[in-house]
């Protein structure tokens, strides 16, 4: 993620997903979600909260 210009602030595990809270180069907050087993990026960043 740092290679994409993101500064990771926090990573949480929520219902089988990794939720990543980061800040981009412009200072904008970014919320990403990844499948905990495959590390596939999920389209819905709030997927782990359902």
pTM of the model: 0.76
Can you tell me the distance from the alpha carbon of 18 to that of 12, in angstroms, rounded to the nearest whole number? 6
- For 6-48, how does the pLDDT look when each residue is reduced to its tens digit (9 = 90+)? 999 999 998 889 999 999 999 999 999 999 999 999 987 665 4
| pLDDT confidence of residue 50 | 41
| pLDDT confidence of residue 44 | 73
Residue 17 and residue 33 in contact, taking contact as beta carbons nearer than 8 Å = yes
């Amino acid at each position: 993620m740092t290679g994409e210009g993101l500064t990771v602030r926090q990573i949480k595990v929520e219902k089988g997903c990794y939720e990543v809270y980061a800040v981009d180069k412009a200072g904008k907050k970014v919320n990403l979600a990844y499948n905990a087993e495959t590390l596939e990026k999920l389209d819905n960043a709030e997927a782990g909260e359902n």
